Structure 1
Amino acid sequence: MKTSESILQATNPNIQNSEGLFFNEIFLIIALISFVILLFMEGFKPYRRFEHKVAKNSIATNTSAFLFNNLILTALRALSLFFIAQQFANVGILNTMQNGPVKWLLTFLLYDLTIYLWHFASHKYEFLWRIHKIHHSDKAFNVTTGFRFHIFDLFLEIILKCIFVIVIGVNAYLVLAIELLEMSFIFFHHSNLSFAQESIISRFIITSSLHRTHHSTLRSEHDSNYGIVLSIWDQLFGTRKEVVPKKIGLDLIEAENLIQLFFLAFLTEKQMKNLLHLIPRGKR
């Protein structure tokens, strides 16, 4: 039987929404502060120094991708799909569970596992890999690489999150709050830094060293370490790999500007060999 508190929450979704908005504001501030600090740290003492032109193109392209993607998603009001899904969340797995820390923790664990599985699928299925490879096309490795995604990739993730809200039965604002928290970890494991006791930390969360392997040019290496926050999923499913990649990026893929980044999603690596000259290329 539901408690009076849970009944009140069910009949007044503004209570859950206000909690979600509070977490969203807090985690957005945390994410922004994390980005600025990591950007400063890797500029001051980077783990690996890339060629000036490569690093410059990387930051410029990644930043423009971030601005373009957010402009498009806002214009299409794609996030509204997310909140429409919330209207059907009353049949989900955790719907009857009282809102609080236990439910938040379970939601976080299920969400992190879901994104791990989605990330794994993005490497294994050609259609998903076409758009996800955009993220791996960066020849450098820095905190702005966390912005380097194709608009279609982000849109598909919105649909995935809608399904998550409905199936798990949680407030959409809570999922957005978790997503903002995970954004801080995305900045962290993309940072061009090395940390003391990183090998110990990596037993629990994805670190730069683990994710750097994920951005290796070699497919045998970048098909690993799919986790976003927790590294336990890679350990459980046997996808963890600890190596130092000799090269970052993809051999047959080049994206030195936003236009190239967008059109690369429509080409496979095999097609790239024959059609690369049709894509605008930056001056060398």
Structure 2
Amino acid sequence: MGHRAVYYEVDVADAVAVEEAAERIEEELGAIDVWVNNAMNSVFSPIKKMKAEEYKRVTDVTYLGQVNGALSALKRMLPRDKGSIVFVGSALTYRGIPLQSAYCGAKHAVEGFYDSLRTELLHDKSKVKISIVQLPALNTTQFGFVKSRLPNKPQPMGTIYQPEVAADAILFAAENNRREMMVGWSTVKAIIGNKIAPWYADRVLANSAFKGQQTDEREDPNRENNVWEPIPGDHGAHGNFGEKAKNSSTVLWLSKNKKYVEGTILLLILLLVLWIILD
């Protein structure tokens, strides 16, 4: 597309490696304007079968990977007093579900770090922008890469979206100083619903989330997973659920066009008031 790109493969759990990559990127391309923290891994398993080292690894990648990225980005952006950092969250940032305790715990931690950082930047009157994007189920390759102890192959739960929808939201967040963006009605429903009636969400998930996170196809217990090392090769951006995945999100469109939507609603209210008064 007429632009130069470079990439470096590092383990985001290694803070030194992340910092070295940031240095090399700036040497190659110049000052970093936007930093997106997106790396994750997971283990699909009942808690009673999880191992301590698996919790540590998922936390190191999914949570501390975002912390390490933010620290390297802030090291460069704060002295310049400019730049944008995007954290990638999930509906599971607020609502834990069965069989993904390590991932849910890590995403909860990301939200806590994000909240703390945002208040510090506000206190310092910094012009560095940060946003967090809460994503729904996505048709990515992760479901074929995660470690799993489930009898059947794992699958995304709820409404599934193509990864381009997430990319659209992340780009918008990077360019606009939004505190938080929710993508997909399923994300809004999970987050708001959990605030209103977490006890109800407990029951629903206990009854539906075990089967809902598995396909009808048996899993190979010996297949490769990416908990400790990446699976070699270019696997693309899309997973195996393209036929079920949506290419757009009405909730995202409404969020991106928030000013126009609010303006339209206010105009309609004003017209209704005038109609009542003049009738």
- TM, length-normalised to structure 2: 0.29
> Larger Cα Rg: Structure 1 or Structure 2?
2
Query: Normalized per residue, which structure has more strand?
Result: 2
> Which structure's relative contact order is higher, taking Cα pairs within 8 Å and 6+ residues apart?
1
Query: Normalized per residue, which structure has more helix?
Result: 1
